[in-house]
Amino acid sequence: MLEGKTAIVTGSTGGIGLGIAKALAGAGARVMLNGLGDPAEIEALRSGIAQSTGVEVGFQGADMQRSGEIAELVSATARVWGSVDILVNNAGIQHVAPIEDFPEERWDAIMSVNLSSAFHSIRHALPLMRRNNWGRIINIASAHGLVASTHKAAYVAAKHGIVGLTKVVALETAQTRITCNAICPGWVLTPLVQKQIDVMAAREGLSAQSARQQLLLEKQPSGEFATPEEIGALAVFLCSPAANQIRGASLSIDGGWTAQ
């Protein structure tokens, strides 16, 4: 379905981003990976996706806190493959603390990576999409883009900002063949979430399994994690003709979290 299309997925060397990158490649899109990690492991990921899907896969290690590097990520992708058709803004970091103890530098970093990077990448990719009058912008928000939790001031604020940014871009592209939507996952067993599970287990003297279930059931009525593969499949759907009139939507994939 996506043969001939080019996708950028930020924060795609693991977790949700990697699941989305694999799904887009599986649907035929060329994919530019981005993220942090050991160079040898990243190369193994890149070559593995390319071999398993038969599409071209690249890597560009832009730092999502640096607007100049984000601009180069977009322009380098266009130089290599001629266009940027699909942009998935997934890069994200987390810090958990009461607001009066929240370090200023962590607030600034989370805002930069989780929100401002999406603005910068959209700003540079959108003219390329307008040139071809086709594009898909998918912002990975969160259940925390729709509701709040304690001790996550920066993350919740940034993800609410992503939902608002999504709506503005959708309105500004409403009479084109470019769409912009947000996916709002609940708990997904990523390294960010595993870290929260480990902290809970240590703090409350729980086993890893008990901490995992307590974390899940506190928010997610299904008692099950959403998976990167499920989120990847939703991203592919949003790139399909069936999603032409899904614009400015925030699509939950959260086991019932925000239905409560």
Same domain, 104 and 202: no
How would residue 9 be classed by pLDDT, with cut points 50, 70 and 90?
very high
- Whether the pLDDT of residue 152 is over 90: the answer is yes
Same domain, 130 and 101: yes
Q: Let me know: does 143 contact 188? Beta carbons within 8 Å.
A: no
- Give the active site residue among 59, 107, 155, 187: 155
Q: Give the mean model confidence (pLDDT) for residues 216-232.
A: 93
Retrieve residue 3's tokens: 């043969």
Q: Does residue 214 belong to any structural domain of this protein? A: yes
Q: Let me know: does 36 contact 13? Beta carbons within 8 Å.
A: yes
- Residue from 230, 232, 207, 223 nearest 256 by CA: 223
To 10 degrees, what angle do helices 117-132 and 153-172 make?
20
Q: Does residue 182 belong to any structural domain of this protein? A: yes
- Whether the pLDDT of residue 190 is over 90: the answer is no
- Residue from 138, 159, 140, 132 nearest 148 by CA: 159
Q: What angle do CA 85, 113, 41 make, to 5 degrees?
A: 75
Give the span between the Cα atoms of 252 and 259, in whole angstroms: 9
Same domain, 206 and 88: no
Contacts of 232 (CB under 8 A, 6+ apart): 19, 20, 21, 22, 23, 24
Retrieve residue 216's tokens: 């899940």
Give the span between the Cα atoms of 89 and 91, in whole angstroms: 6
Same domain, 219 and 103: no
Same domain, 215 and 178: no
Same domain, 154 and 245: yes
Q: Does residue 258 belong to any structural domain of this protein? A: no
Residue identified by tokens 């290690």 is 61
Same domain, 44 and 164: yes
Same domain, 161 and 201: no
Domain that holds residue 163: 6-186+227-252
Same domain, 140 and 25: yes
Give the span between the Cα atoms of 214 and 237, in whole angstroms: 32
- Residue from 221, 212, 217 nearest 194 by CA: 212
Contacts of 245 (CB under 8 A, 6+ apart): none
Q: Does residue 89 belong to any structural domain of this protein? A: yes
Same domain, 208 and 117: no
Q: Does residue 1 belong to any structural domain of this protein? A: no
Same domain, 124 and 181: yes
The beta-strand segments (E) located in the chain are 6-9, 30-33, 57-59, 86-89, 135-140, 178-185, 250-253
- Whether the pLDDT of residue 214 is over 90: the answer is no
* Residue 155 annotated among the catalytic residues of the structure: yes
Tally of domains within the chain: 2
- Check residues 191 and 239 and name the one with the higher pLDDT: 239
Q: Does residue 32 belong to any structural domain of this protein? A: yes
Same domain, 174 and 195: no
Retrieve residue 33's tokens: 């990976």
Global pTM exceeds 0.75? yes
Q: Let me know: does 223 contact 13? Beta carbons within 8 Å.
A: no
> Which of 55-59, 178-182, 205-209 shows the lowest per-residue confidence on average (mean pLDDT)?
205-209
Q: Give the mean model confidence (pLDDT) for residues 116-130.
A: 98
Q: Does residue 18 belong to any structural domain of this protein? A: yes
- Whether the pLDDT of residue 259 is over 90: the answer is yes
